[in-house]
Amino acid sequence: MAVSSDTPPARSGYALVVDDHPLVSRGITAFIRSHPMLEDAVGVGSPREALQLLVDRGPPVVALVDFWMADGASTGFLQDLRALAPKVRILTMSGDGHPTVRQSAMGYGAHGFLHKQEPPEVFAAAVSAVLGGGTWFGADEHAPDWSREVPVTPASLGLTPRQGDILARMLEGHPNKQIARDLNLSEYTVKEHVTAVLQRLQVRSRVEAVTKLRGTRLELKP
């Protein structure tokens, strides 16, 4: 017997929302919970809580992950999530329209990217797309014009060449472990460099560093 096109899609599994802004997390979770393809949605405020939820409840069918967390980019968490739940569909989101955010999310295995200024119907459509096995990477109409970035060098920021190498990778959202591997350094050494870079820039976190350097282009000597 033919199934009517009006038949709602079967609900399957829950959505995980990971965002360290409580109000944002609750709002997105409440909205996504009503999605016709989901049984439920659960919001948490940190990657640690998310990983514990996977242990307690099992993997979600889709995860909506804020790209920028309090301690930096969520790229490390994306790697952990893919390793622990390889079938989960991942939709990253951010209020940061810089092109490298979208590119980094894609490079770390996300199936889609959403700007937080998108209307609810776009969020719903993106979730449907990734749950259906597709991707959601489109032109970001909310992104500012980055073609007129001001070039800066590590020296102009008061940094050594090595600290410049570290900062460049920080701005791309790379965690300390990957930076250490890329530059053949110990994680302890990288951590010391990161602390020095943040102090020199007079910021408290990687997120603040990205914000402070918005509109600039870091140029490293070849």
Per-residue model confidence as pLDDT tens digits over 173-208 = 888 999 999 999 999 999 999 999 999 998 888 878
User: What integer pLDDT is reported at residue 86 of this predicted model?
Assistant: 94
User: Which residues face 80 on adjacent strands?
Assistant: none
Q: Would 19 be classed as within a structural domain?
A: yes
**Rounded CA gap, 22 and 41, in Å?**
15
Q: Would 7 be classed as within a structural domain?
A: no
Q: Tell me which DSSP letter residue 126 carries.
A: H
The domain of 102 spans 14-131
Q: Is 49's pLDDT higher than 80?
A: yes
- 22-32 helix and 120-131 helix, angle to the nearest 10 degrees: 60
User: What integer pLDDT is reported at residue 167 of this predicted model?
Assistant: 93
User: What integer pLDDT is reported at residue 64 of this predicted model?
Assistant: 97
Per-residue model confidence as pLDDT tens digits over 88-128 = 999 999 887 777 778 778 888 899 999 888 899 999 999 99
Of the two residues 8 and 215, the one the predictor is more confident about is 215
Q: Is 32's pLDDT higher than 90?
A: yes
Asked whether residue 79 falls in the same domain as residue 170, the answer is: no
H or E element in which residue 69 lies: strand 68-69
Asked whether residue 127 falls in the same domain as residue 181, the answer is: no
Q: Is 21's pLDDT higher than 80?
A: yes
Residue 207's Cβ-side half-sphere holds a number of Cα atoms within 13 Å equal to 13
Q: Would 137 be classed as within a structural domain?
A: no
CATH of the domain at 182: 1.10.10.10
